[in-house]
């Protein structure tokens, strides 16, 4: 892992921290590549039930690296086209992520930084968080992040943000359904992350892994197709071990002992 992204753990939660605070944590090719590597490491770790992306310093993520982007016009077309490939890969990875991914946002989440938050399943933010898409003010349009943000916000409000570049605060983002919880400060933000970690620890690993991917598929299908597909997607749950353990634990009035968690605990020991 490079210097742009730090990996750490908070119980069952893996944490990826953007680590260029002096530049307000820009999302460039190298950072996107390191985020992809970090996600891959946490997705393959049975001890990790979910992942949180956050930022060091005064901002979550200020967006793309403008110094790099200003040189793209000097490149051959094919090289300029491939420049954002790791950022696109990050978005694609999040569509089929096998574990929940959260964004813990404080300060600015601008441009690609708002897109980075928007690709996550859950966003928690401090009261000082600000979200904006100012690309049009510098001669760009936020093309790539439309794919996720159009599924995470009301369409016309999102387009207004893209056309004007005007920011919204955490409270408005919460009213729009973009942010799940607003926290007073960074200390309470980390407490919130820990609370979600414990919630995910208590849920079925199969439900997290398969259910999250099924949701992405079903939510983008026409209703009739989604209902047909849901019958097939139910089968791994019906024939899996987790439903047996979950039902037994409920009837016995005890916490479930999930097989994946047991295996992870034995590995740690």
- Dist. CA 57–CA 71, nearest whole Å: 27
- Is 135 annotated as catalytic? yes
Predicted local distance difference test score (pLDDT) of residue 260: 62
Rounded CA-CA distance 185/122 in Å is: 18
Give 51-106 as a DSSP string.
EEEEESTT-SB-BS-HHHHTTGGGS-HHHHHHTTHHHHHHHHHHHT-SS-EEEEE-
CA 225 to chain centre: 27
Give the active site residue among 135, 172, 245, 266: 135
User: Given a cut of 80, is residue 191 above it in pLDDT?
Assistant: yes
Structural domains in the chain plus CATH codes = 5-200 (3.90.226.10), 204-268 (1.10.12.10)
Q: How far apart are the first and last CA of the chain?
A: 26
Distance CA(2)–CA(224), nearest Å, equals: 46
Q: What pLDDT digit, counting tens, does each position of 198-238 carry?
A: 999 999 999 999 999 899 899 989 999 999 999 999 998 98
Average the pLDDT over 114-120 and give the result.
97
pLDDT higher than threshold 90 for residue 75: no
pLDDT tens column, 246-255: 989 999 999 9
pTM attached to this predicted model = 0.89
């Amino acid at each position: 892992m490079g210097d742009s992204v730090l990996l750490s753990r908070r119980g069952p939660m893996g944490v990826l921290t953007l680590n260029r605070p002096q530049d307000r944590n820009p999302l460039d090719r190298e950072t996107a590549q390191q985020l992809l590597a970090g996600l891959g490491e946490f997705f393959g770790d049975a001890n990790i039930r979910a992942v949180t992306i956050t930022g060091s310093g005064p901002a979550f993520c200020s967006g793309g690296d403008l110094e790099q982007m200003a040189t793209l016009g000097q490149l051959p077309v094919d090289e300029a086209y491939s420049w954002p490939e790791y950022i696109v890969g990050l978005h694609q990875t999040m569509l089929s992520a096998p574990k929940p991914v959260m964004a813990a946002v404080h300060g600015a989440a601008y441009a690609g930084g708002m897109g980075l938050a928007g690709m996550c399943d859950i966003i928690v933010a401090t009261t000082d968080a600000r979200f904006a898409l100012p690309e049009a003010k510098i001669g760009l349009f936020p093309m790539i992040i439309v794919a996720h943000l159009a599924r995470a916000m009301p369409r016309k409000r999102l387009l207004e943000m893209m056309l004007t570049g005007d920011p919204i605060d955490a409270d408005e983002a919460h009213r729009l359904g973009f942010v799940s919880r607003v926290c007073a400060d960074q200390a309470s933000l980390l407490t919130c992350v820990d609370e979600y970690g414990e919630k995910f620890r208590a849920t079925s690993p199969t439900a997290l892994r398969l259910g999250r991917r099924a949701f992405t598929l079903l939510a983008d299908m026409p209703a009739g197709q989604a209902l047909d597909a849901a019958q097939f997607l139910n089968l791994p749950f019906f024939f899996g071990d987790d439903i047996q353990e979950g039902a037994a634990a409920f009837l016995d009035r005890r916490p479930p002992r999930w097989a994946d968690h047991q295996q992870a605990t034995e590995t740690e020991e």
